Amino acid sequence: MQTTPDLKNNISFEDFKTEVLNDYKIAVRSRECSLLGRREVLTGKAKFGIFGDGKEVPQLAMAKAFQKGDWRSGYYRDQTFMMAIGELTPEQFFAGLYANTDIEQEPMSAGRQMGGHFVTHSLNNDGSWKNLTKQYNSSSDISPTAGQMPRLLGLAQASKIFRNVEGINASNFSVNGNEVAWGTIGNASTSEGLFFETINAAGVLQVPMVISVWDDEYGISVHARHQTTKENISEILKGFQRDENNKGYEILRVKGWDYANLIETYQEASAIAREEHVPVLIHVTELTQPQGHSTSGSHERYKSPERLNWEVQQDCNTRMRQWIIDSGIATNEDLTEIDRVIKREVKEAKRKAWTTFLKPVSDDQRELVAVLKQLAESSVNGVFINKLKDSLEAIDEPTRKDILSHGRRALRYTIGEESSKKDKLVQWIDKCLEETQPKFSSHLYSETEHSNILIKEVKPTYDEKAQQVDGRIILRDNFDVIFNKYPEALIFGEDTGNIGDVNQGLEGLQEKYGELRIADAGIREATIVGQGIGMALRGLKPIAEIQYLDYLMYALQIISDDLATVHYRTKGKQKAPLIVRTRGHRLEGIWHSGSQMGGILNLVKGVNVLVPRNMTKAAGFYNTLLQGDDPAIVVECLNGYRLKEKMPNNLGYLKTPIGVVETVKEGSDITLVSYGSTLRIVEQVATELLAVGIDAEVIDVQSLMPFDLNHDIVKSIQKTNRVMIIDEDVPGGASAYILNEILNKQNAYQYLDSQPKTLTAKEHRPAYGNDGDYFSKPSAEDIFEAIYGVMHETNPEEFPKLR
- Closest by CA to 363, choosing from 428, 312, 301, 442, is 428
pLDDT of 595 > 90? The answer is no
For the beta sheet containing 723-726, the strands, ordered from the edge strand earlier in sequence to the opposite edge, are 662-665, 696-700, 670-674, 723-726, 757-759
Distance from C-alpha of 200 to C-alpha of 219, rounded to nearest angstrom? 23
Please enumerate in sequence order all residues whose Cβ is within 8 A of that of 232, keeping only pairs 6 or more positions apart, or say none.
Answer: 224, 283
In this predicted structure, the answer to whether residue 587 has a pLDDT above a threshold of 80 is: no
Report yes or no on whether pTM surpasses 0.75.
Answer: yes
DSSP 192-222: SHHHHHHHHHHHHHT--EEEEEE--SEETTE
**CA-CA distance, 781 to 63, in Å (whole number)?**
66
* Dihedral sign (CA 368, 369, 375, 380): positive
How much is the pLDDT for 594?
72
**Helix and strand numbers, DSSP H then E, in the chain:** 26, 22
Give 74-126 pLDDT, tens digit per residue. 999 999 999 999 999 999 999 999 999 999 999 999 999 999 999 999 999 99
Question: Edge-to-edge, what's the strand order for the sheet holding 518-520?
Answer: 518-520, 489-493, 541-545, 579-584, 632-637, 608-610, 703-705
- β partners of residue 137: 71
Phi and psi angles of residue 123, each rounded to the nearest 5 degrees, phi first: -120, 145
Predicted local distance difference test score (pLDDT) of residue 92: 98
Residues forming the active site: 592
Give the pLDDT confidence score for residue 11 in this predicted structure: 78
The answer to whether 705 and 608 are in contact (CB under 8 A) is: yes
First-to-last alpha carbon distance for the chain, in angstroms, is 78
* Tens-digit pLDDT profile for residues 437-491: 999 999 999 999 999 999 999 999 999 999 999 999 999 999 999 999 999 999 9
What are the pLDDT digits (tens) for 363-390? 999 999 999 999 999 999 999 999 999 9
Angstrom distance (rounded) from CA 794 to CA 188: 63
For 220-229, the pLDDT digits (tens) are 999 999 999 9
- Mean per-residue pLDDT for 405-411? 97
Are the C-beta atoms of 154 and 535 separated by less than 8 Å? yes
Cα distances (Å, whole numbers) of residue 555 to 197, 301, 604: 12, 36, 11
Neighbours of 312 (CB within 10 A): 11
Q: pLDDT tens for residues 5-60?
A: 555 557 788 899 999 999 999 999 999 999 999 999 999 999 999 999 999 999 99
Average pLDDT over residues 761-773: 91
638-673 burial code (b ≥16 CB/10 A, e <16): bbbbeeebebbebbbebbbbbbbbbebbebebbbbb
SS3 392: helix
- The answer to whether 149 and 198 are in contact (CB under 8 A) is yes
